[in-house]
């Protein structure tokens, strides 16, 4: 079994298992804690506060007018590299074929040359994000191993992917094997760190938004 076979064979299967079980456990673990129901009479109807939750899912995608001057640039940077990552993961034809082999569903992709440009841009933005994290006093203070390791492992996937596409440094099969191994590593790390925010972001906005809307509070 060569590196590529190992990476996309047993290593991938094991990584997917860790990913699925880990993510499920992270979510189930909340349910094992005390769930408190608010006994205070709501200001709004159930419909209204559920709608408030859904509205918050959208409204928190961009800062309120009152905050935009202070946070707009930082948030734009954050969303930009996320969009880049989504484009590379979901619109690169080999990725679509790979995902199709797993889920049986394919869709049209972007030309490889465009994906390469997006990848380089994303890589640049991702570097800027790290620079910001280490230079911004607030972010530096808040950051821990999880932040840096999650950044590192995502960057690794990006760099190895670019190297494989550009055939730089080794044979294509080896580069692809390394790239898939980096994806395996990301999947294994995913449930243990902040990458879980991918699963939390919309429920978090919706739940907190609904609870604020229940009181008629600003959200």
- Contact positions with another protein (CB under 8 A) in 182-211: 192, 194, 196-197, 200-201, 203-209, 211
Q: Decide: 137 and 120 in contact? Cβ < 8 Å.
A: no
- Contact positions with another protein (CB under 8 A) in 43-62: 43, 56-57, 60-61
**Would you count residue 67 as binding another protein (CB under 8 A)?**
yes
Q: Work out which of 33, 102, 103, 108 binds another protein, going by CB under 8 A.
A: 33
Q: Nearer to another protein by C-beta: 170 or 186?
A: 186
As a whole number of angstroms, the distance between CA 146 and CA 175 comes to: 26
Element counts in the chain: helices (H) and strands (E): 10, 0
**Would you count residue 102 as binding another protein (CB under 8 A)?**
no
Task: Name the β-bridge partners of 110.
Answer: 92
Q: Which residues contact 178 (CB under 8 A, 6 or more apart)?
A: 3, 7, 160, 163, 164, 170
HSE, CB side, 13 Å, CA atoms: give it for residue 176. 13
Q: Work out which of 2, 5, 64, 106 binds another protein, going by CB under 8 A.
A: 64
For 92, phi and psi rounded to 5 degrees?
-90, 125
Q: Nearer to another protein by C-beta: 98 or 200?
A: 200
As a whole number of angstroms, the distance between CA 64 and CA 46 comes to: 25
Residues that bind another protein (CB under 8 A): 25-26, 28-31, 33-36, 38-41, 43, 56-57, 60-61, 63-64, 66-67, 70-71, 74-75, 78, 136-145, 147, 192, 194, 196-197, 200-201, 203-209, 211-212, 215-219
């Amino acid at each position: 079994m060569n590196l590529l076979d190992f990476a996309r064979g047993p290593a991938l299967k094991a990584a997917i298992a860790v990913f699925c079980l880990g993510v499920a456990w992270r979510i189930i673990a909340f349910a094992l804690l005390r769930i408190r129901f608010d006994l205070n009479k709501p200001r709004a109807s159930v419909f209204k506060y559920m709608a408030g939750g859904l509205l918050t899912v959208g409204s928190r995608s961009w800062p309120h007018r009152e905050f935009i001057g202070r946070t707009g640039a930082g948030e734009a940077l954050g969303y930009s590299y996320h969009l880049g990552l989504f484009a590379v993961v979901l619109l690169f034809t080999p990725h679509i074929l790979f995902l199709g082999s797993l889920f049986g569903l394919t869709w049209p992709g972007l030309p490889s040359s465009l994906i390469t440009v997006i990848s380089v841009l994303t890589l640049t933005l991702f570097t800027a994000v790290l620079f910001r994290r280490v230079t911004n006093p607030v972010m530096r203070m808040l950051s821990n191993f999880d932040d840096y390791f999650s950044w590192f492992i995502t960057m690794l996937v990006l760099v190895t992917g670019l190297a494989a596409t550009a055939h730089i440094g080794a044979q294509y099969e080896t580069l692809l094997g390394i790239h898939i191994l980096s994806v395996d590593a990301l999947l294994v790390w995913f449930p243990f760190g902040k990458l879980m925010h991918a699963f939390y972001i919309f429920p978090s906005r919706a739940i907190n938004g609904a609870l604020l809307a229940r009181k008629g509070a600003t959200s």
